[in-house]
Every structure is written in C-alpha cells, then in structure tokens.
Copies of this chain bind each other. A is one copy, B any other.
Amino acid sequence: MTDPTAIDQIVDRLPVDIITTDPDVVATYAADQSQFTERARPIAVAMPRTTDEVAACVRAAHEHGIVVVPRGAGSGLSGAANAPAGAIVLSLHRMTAIRELDTENRVVVVEPGVITAELREHVRKAGLYYPPDPGSVDFCTIGGNVATNAGGMCCVKYGVTGDFVLGLECVLADGRIMRTGRRTVKGVAGFDLTSLLIGSEGALAVITEITLRLLPEPAEPHTLVASFPTLDGAGQAVRAISGAGITPSLLEILDRTTVRAVDDMTRMGLGDDTAALLLIQHDGADAPDALVSIEKQCTAVGASEIVVSSDQTEADMLLEARRQALPALERLGDWLLDDVCVPCSRITDLIAAIERISEQTGLTIGVFGHAGDGNLHPTIIYDDTDASSRDLAFEAFNAITQEALDLGGTITGEHGVGRLKAGWLRSELDPVNLAVHQSVKHAFDPTATLNPGAELQARA
C-alpha cells in the first residue's frame, strides 16, 4: 500500500508550479479519447518544463511507490494514457521547444510536447518534410507519436513515426536520464534501444527529447478519386496498383457505409451505388504517368466514376470525403473507432467480414482507412446509454479483431494496444514472446512505476 501522505511529500519536494492535485484539473488528465477502457481517479498531474524536472517528478514518485503515467496530448484511442487510481499523470505538454533544426543534415531535435502539425510546418518552412500525419496531427504531440509509433495517411510511401526517429533522450523509471541512438543516418553501436522505446506506450521510459531525420519536401501530389460499384472492384484496384509497382503517397478507402454517412452530412454526391471509394495521391516525379496508369487500372476493374486532378485546391476538395469520414460517422451515434491491419491483399475480405458482423449485431459499422497498408479503421456506431448496445458493440469489436488475426493481420496497426487491447496481445503474441515482454519491462522498470497496465496486462 502506498503511504496516503506520499503525494503530499512529493508535492512538497517539487517546484510548486509543476504539480497539482486540484481535482478539477486532475480529472481532465485522467484518460485519453478511448472508449471501452477502464479509467479511474489519478491523484495529481505533473507538468514539468525540463528534462531535469521530469527526472525529479519520476524519481520522487518512484521513491514513494506511486505510479507515473506519461501523457502527450491525450488524443490516443487505446487507453494507453489512462491513469490508474492514485497515479500521477505526467504531462509533457509544456516541453514544446524545437531545440535545433539542422537543414544541411536534415535533422531536427525537438521536445516531446511539440504539436505534430507545428513540427511539420516548422520544417516545411525550411524546405523539409516530416511525413507522419496521424489523424490527430493538429493536436497530438510528437512525444505521443513516438510513444505509440503513430502512423497516418503518408505511411504507404513514407512509413511510420519510428522510421524517422534517430535518437531519444528519456527518463527511466527511477529518474535516471538516458540517451539512445545517434544523429547520423546509419549506426549500429549497441542494442537498438531507440526502437524498443518507440511504441512502448510509456511503459519503459518517459521520452524527453527526440532527434528526427527529415526528407526533402516532395512535389505537390496529383490526386485521383475512384468510385466502385462493388467492394471487390476496389480490392482488385488496390492489388493492381501495387502489382504494377506503383507507390502512391496516399491510398485510402471508404466503404459503402462511410460513403453514405459522408454524403448524408455533406451532400457531396458520392453516389448511392458506390460500394467503395478509393482516394489516391502520387507525389513522385512521374506522378502524371502514374495517375494515367492508376486510372486505367481502376477502369479495367470496373470503377464507375474517376476524377483526377493536379490542382491542389481541387485535390483538397477531393480528399474532403476522407477527412469527413469520422465526423460523418460520429453523427450517427456513439462510436468506437477501431484499428486493425491485414496483408494488403485481404482488405476487402476484412471489409466483407465486417459487413457480416454488422448484420449479425445489427450495428452500423463504417470502415475507412489506409488501403495501401492494409490498415483499416472500422468504426462501430452504438448507443452508450444502452447496456445491450454497449455489449453488442464490444462483441463486434472483438469479432473484428479476431477476424484481422484470422486474415494474417495484427490487432493494431497504428493506434496501439493500451488498455483497450491488452487482453488481445495474448492472441497475437506467443507465450514466450509475452514472457520476454515481462522480462524487458522488469529490466527497465523493476518496480512497475511507469504506466503498468498498458501493453502488459490482460483486460479484466
């Protein structure tokens, strides 16, 4: 049992303006944006401004046996930042400095609280490109992105957050400060602790500085939107594009349910007969040729309507259907946004299975996501005030997750395991791998100070 006066002792020893136990403040930091995840009442929120202050907070909590849950913007959808009762939430939102931009070597060094969109804009002004663009890009933080290995629409060509991280500074569970990685493009000195920390959801260390590699800014993309009267046609088109060796910079899919929801909200006229919509961009030097080839392939597999544009304003309008997917589905009720990933050749199998699950449960489930990666976001619509509807939604969620595994996929493509899918880890990973997870956690954090429950425990 934790000494009930421990938090007072911690508050006493820390600078007065970096920790609060004000219940109203603390309540706003209790959980992320996930649904169906356990949440409780943390006891305090720490808001350090420097690495040393992070270390002081973690060390104090560690010495008093209090759990620390690191948190970026709280935009996560898996409950990785939900704090257990009595825990201290450690928010990195005040560490917002862009410490260095080395344009010559295309490297940027940032603090974890920098908003991802602001980072992208900052480097863009120097003609550089930081690709990862999670859906929450306008309010999530780069620290949270690293801790969850966030993705986005860019991944089909550019990869995920982790593909851009060269090195980290972090605070370990006992307050020690560690640097990992390097500033060079290549390097193999020692175990790859950087990659181990990426996506570890705050369970191994608190990330306090990130060194990222950047790319030259690509050309403005050319855009194509294709409507398909059958789901199968859209799946064939995705496979044909891949089979032709074309690498789009964006390849998104909206299923029939999502298309209708968007149409109902926006009156965009996406078509009642549309079973699936593909949104495709290409930002390579050969974009015009690639788009011609993609258009032919879409036509050959039965696309009913195709719109192509090289104009950015028009392209923005064409992509609007994708941007409005979640807002449109949100209008239909309470929603559980899922995240699974299957081999690209199986996306239409997954969508078809989700249609069956929708019929079986009687719930509306819209599917949209990153067709080029096989990473889809089935969005289950339910009534949170109705217990039986909640049960059905959770049943559908579990059925979808199992379906992804059965199709050779993973329980989470980019949102993370958190508390939402901790139990599902046992279905994806073998018992030896789970045992090694426990050993690695223990090696970093023997007293389970940092975010216990995320990734490692089964859901109750």
Instruction: Enumerate chain A interface residues (CB-CB to B < 8 A).
Output: 102, 104-107, 127, 148-149, 151, 155-156, 160, 162-163, 172, 176-180, 182-193, 195-196, 198-200, 204, 215-217, 239, 242-247, 284-286, 289, 341-345, 370, 373-375, 408-417, 421, 424-425, 428-430, 432-433, 436-437, 439-444, 455
Contact = CB atoms under 8 A, between A and B. Distances in A.
16 contacts: A104-B345, A105-B343, A105-B345, A151-B186, A155-B185, A176-B432, A186-B370, A186-B375, A186-B410, A187-B412, A189-B424, A189-B428, A193-B433, A284-B285, A440-B440, A440-B443
Given A107-B343, A192-B198, A284-B285, 20 more contacts: A104-B242, A155-B185, A160-B186, A172-B432, A176-B432, A182-B341, A184-B375, A184-B409, A185-B344, A185-B375, A186-B373, A186-B413, A189-B421, A190-B433, A192-B199, A193-B440, A196-B440, A216-B245, A216-B247, A286-B286
Contacts of A428: 182, 189-190
A90 B56 CA distance: 46
A172 B215 CA distance: 38
Contacts of A247: 215-216
Contacts of A244: 216
A285 B105 CA distance: 25
A399 to B, nearest CB: 18
Contacts of A149: 188, 192
A243 B196 contact: no
Nearest to A184: B341
Contacts of A444: 436, 439
Nearest to A434: B190
Contacts of A429: 179, 189-190
The quantity of this chain's copies bound in the complex is: 2
Contact of A433 (B104, B179, B342, B443): B179
A160 B191 CA distance: 15
A414 B189 CA distance: 9
